[in-house]
Structure 1
Amino acid sequence: MSLRQILFVKSTRVPAHKKAAPRKKRPTLLNMINSLRHRFLRLFNSLSRRLHRISRDVSRLAGQVNDVSAQEKQLAVKVAQTTQSLNGLSGQVSALAARTEPFATQISSLQAEVANLTAPSRAVRTLLQGRVGTTVSIESNAGSISGTLTAVGDDFAQIQEPTGDIVLIPLANVNSVT
């Protein structure tokens, strides 16, 4: 085998070289600096906008806090005035209660007297209510009255005499019933 044949054989067996992909150009230092500068400016602008929004929100919230604080002070003043008014009214109520105490005692005493005075009338009324429509004889301060008991009111009895006359007798004047 000749040298030529050997080279030919070897060249046929050796894979053909692919064409190498073009190499990417390596960025230059200036391009890298410009890219970083651009990124930095975008980040700086974004942060500046956010900081501006936060600052605006803080100012708005500070205003609201001041408003609430002013309202709180106004409410505290109103609460103090209301408390003072309530204390004054409480004093007036106490004074009125002290002035009405004697009246309450007198009213209780009068109610007891009225109950004592009307107790007999109530008893007579209860007795007479069970005898409506019957013939009764009532002894009163004015004398004796006989006839048919036709009605009993809160403080009177109505009797129809045999003559047809109607007589009203106050229960307080009734001494006896037969």
Structure 2
Amino acid sequence: MRRYWNRSLDGGSKEITVRKKKKRKKTSHSVWSKFLSLRRKLIRSIAGIRLQIVRLNERIHALQEQVNGLQGGASPGASPGSSVSAFLRGRLNSRITVETTAGTIFGTLIAIGEDNVQIAEPNGSIVIIPLRSFLSIA
């Protein structure tokens, strides 16, 4: 602690004490250690993200295999309606019920096109349905 004497004109002197300034710690070491710590955390996070990407790619591949299996072994370049067309060919001239985005249609399957089917309803009308509108077939 430093001591200063205040000498005023009136002749009296008083002791004034002032606290010493604290020396600053060198921050370069602590900043550097924080930087290295953040770098380690970032590297670990990146490694974790890479592992998650690998796992997701494996899962996507497995799901793609399942979809290909459900399509009757259709090649990846084939249209999605080709497996539906193959299924419907076995049911040609038989009664089917089709759930579509517009509603349910019941009737006899009379024709199968590249991207649509024709169904004759019991009242005699013929309905043409695009394969992309199919939700289910019974």
Output the TM-score relative to the length of structure 1. 0.34
Choose between structure 1 and 2: higher helix proportion: 1
Choose between structure 1 and 2: higher strand proportion: 2
